[in-house]
Structure 1
Amino acid sequence: MVAKSNSLSEFSFISEISLEDWLKQDLGLSRSKIKEFHFKKNWLAKRTKNKETLTFPIDLLNDHLINPRFDGPEVKILYSADDLMALSKPAGMHLFPLHYSETDTVLNFLRSQNFGRDILQVEAHSHEKGALFRLDHVTSGLMMFARTEATYKEFRQNLERQKYYLAIVHGHVQKNGRHRHFLSGLNKGGAKVKCSPDPSAASLEANIEILPLAFREDLNLSLIGVLLGEGHRHQIRVQLACIGHPILGDILYGGKLEERVFLHAWTYVFGPRFFQDDTCPLFGKFFDLNSGLQVFSDHRGISQRR
């Protein structure tokens, strides 16, 4: 995420109020959010005067808003209907901004498009808005958005949903199988998640199922399919590293440095409906995706879309 902007904007007051009360009551800012701007106590205690004009950081005045400007890489629209939208998220892009001055996230893209404004009204109080799930910053691929509150609630209540990923990992993955681990450190922002085969008081269960699709002996790399269980932060990345097959490019979990982290959200099954993103940026540099995706499709009984 980028740092807060130094851009300033003027605000004129129409009544007397302490600046701290104005920030909390009128702008709806929490105490922790106010602390981010490092205001001095005597400034917060200051009482404004009628018709007084003061200057504030634009990130503070627009804290709950999404900037309509978009300066990120291309986002491809895969599917759009009255209830759902599917996008192809590039690797290296965040879902939502931390500050109004950020202009390179998925939600900035939606805000910049007239058709995306309804999505921003779904679960408007949350950072994710109408997103049905999140992807790590380094992960590319399919993202789904509800365009109505009814669709969002239907998704949350429907347990018949599955997410399939593609990954290029180090080592020779020779057989398919299910893997169960216990994760801790999930609430520490961008910090490394810890993985163990044994449960602890502070851990959460995590399950994945993997399927080998192809192997490059000359590079000691495997193309695999992954069925994600719970969807914890960094789950696939840390579980694959835990079984000795870190993802190519994922230096946080032991992978070798590459142009990107080779993890891609491929297919999403939602009840009787499914959606797919076959773009898989840069995967073709190492593997023939046509044959690999066909193996995955045949094994899981998914009709491949091209």
Structure 2
Amino acid sequence: MIKLKAKKDDVGRILFKYLIKVCDNVPVSRIEKAFREKDIKVNGQRVNDKQYKIQLDDIVEVYGLQDAFKPAEKNTSQINFKLIYEDKNIMIIDKAVNVAMHSEENCLDDQVLKYLNYKKTSSFRPASIGRIDKKTSGLVVYAKNYKTLVEFEEKQAQFDKVYQFVSDFDEDFLDITVRLKKDIKNEKMIVDQNFGVKARTLFYKEGNRKYAKILTGKKHQIRATLAYLRYPILGDIKYGGKWAKRMYLHSYSVTFHGLSEEFSDYNDQIFIAQPRW
């Protein structure tokens, strides 16, 4: 039997996901079995409602579990991001080119955890709000607590996200919507105006600088749309761009909008990272 006490960063998470996150050495099927067999108590009462929302200081007991927690591993990441902004709720980072967000050695997630000296004390760990490609540099927002993560993920469709790029694009302004679908064989997105999901992008120039503002957040949206327009990004070999030392796409700015009263101080705040090329 294991006994857990809910912390501040657990509040609001449903019981099923809470147990999956905390008991990270236990298969999901074993957690499901505990619900089926009513082997879970919350504050002394048997519970089999997966959707129960965790409250502060809840005592959760699960019978029949052993070795429920993975041992902590030493984080050997080398921090190479540039910190743009940080407070108690968020971090805004300028990610270096050719750094993966997740699941690779020295990925950005691991770098952030090392920077924060993260130690697991709850079901939450700092997490990115959205993501950018490995070959794309620039701004990434991280939530430092669960309440912030839920709020920013829920409202991120209202944020203004602008990218800077280098290509032969030569129009002052273009508002274009395409439909994208996966090309599984070639691991990329292609335009299919009959069957794909809608992706809308505003492209514009300011002097000799070229920008893309995404109005929908679809995978490879800017890269695939520019390839479709026959203006592939310099260095984006996958989408027909000319070879270069890097892919010249950079997450340039983010402006927050639509956040609730508790987070209203962030509304209309703009954060910028200049490309390092």
Structure 1 residue 110, shift from structure 2 partner: 1.5
Name 1:168's counterpart in structure 2.
Answer: 166
User: For the structure 1 residues 119 and 80, does the alpha-carbon distance in structure 2 shift closer, same or farther, using more than 3 Å as the test?
Assistant: farther
Report the secondary structure of 1:211's partner residue: strand
1:154 aligns with 2:155: no
Name 2:141's counterpart in structure 1.
Answer: 144
1:276 corresponds to which of 248, 267, 271: 271
Structure 1 residue 154, shift from structure 2 partner: 1.4
Structure 1 residue 119, shift from structure 2 partner: 12
Structure 2 unaligned regions, length at least 5: 1-22, 30-68, 258-266
Counterpart-to-counterpart distance in 1, 2:225 and 2:200:
8
Counterpart-to-counterpart distance in 2, 1:233 and 1:136:
9
Name 1:70's counterpart in structure 2.
Answer: 77
Name 1:183's counterpart in structure 2.
Answer: 180
User: For the structure 1 residues 26 and 63, does the alpha-carbon distance in structure 2 shift closer, same or farther, using more than 3 Å as the test?
Assistant: closer
Contact 1:268 1:275 in 2 (8 A): yes
Counterpart-to-counterpart distance in 2, 1:177 and 1:120:
46
1:27 aligns with 2:20: no
**Paired residue type of 1:225:** Y
Counterpart-to-counterpart distance in 2, 1:256 and 1:26:
44
Structure 1 unaligned regions, length at least 5: 1-24, 32-61, 216-222, 283-306
Contact 2:163 2:213 in 1 (8 A): yes
**Paired residue type of 2:201:** I
Counterpart-to-counterpart distance in 1, 2:181 and 2:110:
31
Counterpart-to-counterpart distance in 2, 1:141 and 1:274:
17
Report the secondary structure of 2:151's partner residue: helix
Counterpart-to-counterpart distance in 1, 2:107 and 2:203:
30
Report the secondary structure of 1:185's partner residue: strand
1:225 corresponds to which of 204, 211, 217: 211
Counterpart-to-counterpart distance in 1, 2:268 and 2:72:
32
User: For the structure 1 residues 66 and 111, does the alpha-carbon distance in structure 2 shift closer, same or farther, using more than 3 Å as the test?
Assistant: farther
Report the secondary structure of 1:104's partner residue: coil
Contact 2:24 2:70 in 1 (8 A): no
**Percent sequence identity over aligned pairs:** 20
Name 2:111's counterpart in structure 1.
Answer: 109
1:82 corresponds to which of 88, 95, 109: 88
TM-score (norm 2): 0.66
Report the secondary structure of 1:279's partner residue: coil
Report the secondary structure of 2:180's partner residue: strand
Counterpart-to-counterpart distance in 2, 1:96 and 1:66:
16
Contact 1:67 1:111 in 2 (8 A): no
Structure 1 residue 175, shift from structure 2 partner: 2.1
- The alignment covers a number of residue pairs equal to 207
User: For the structure 1 residues 161 and 65, does the alpha-carbon distance in structure 2 shift closer, same or farther, using more than 3 Å as the test?
Assistant: farther
Structure 1 residue 278, shift from structure 2 partner: 2.7
1:194 corresponds to which of 186, 190, 193: 190
Structure 1 residue 113, shift from structure 2 partner: 2.1
Structure 1 residue 160, shift from structure 2 partner: 2.7
User: For the structure 1 residues 199 and 136, does the alpha-carbon distance in structure 2 shift closer, same or farther, using more than 3 Å as the test?
Assistant: same
Contact 1:71 1:103 in 2 (8 A): no
Contact 2:254 2:272 in 1 (8 A): no
**Paired residue type of 1:68:** N
User: For the structure 1 residues 66 and 84, does the alpha-carbon distance in structure 2 shift closer, same or farther, using more than 3 Å as the test?
Assistant: farther
Counterpart-to-counterpart distance in 2, 1:255 and 1:226:
17
Counterpart-to-counterpart distance in 2, 1:135 and 1:64:
30
Q: How far does the alpha carbon of each residue in 1:124-171 deviate from its partner, in whole angstroms, 9 at most, with x for none? A: 5xxxx5211100111000000111111112113325311011011125
Contact 1:120 1:130 in 2 (8 A): no
Does 131-140 or 177-186 show the bigger shift? 177-186
TM-score (norm 1): 0.60
Counterpart-to-counterpart distance in 2, 1:95 and 1:141:
12
Contact 1:85 1:147 in 2 (8 A): yes
Report the secondary structure of 1:27's partner residue: coil
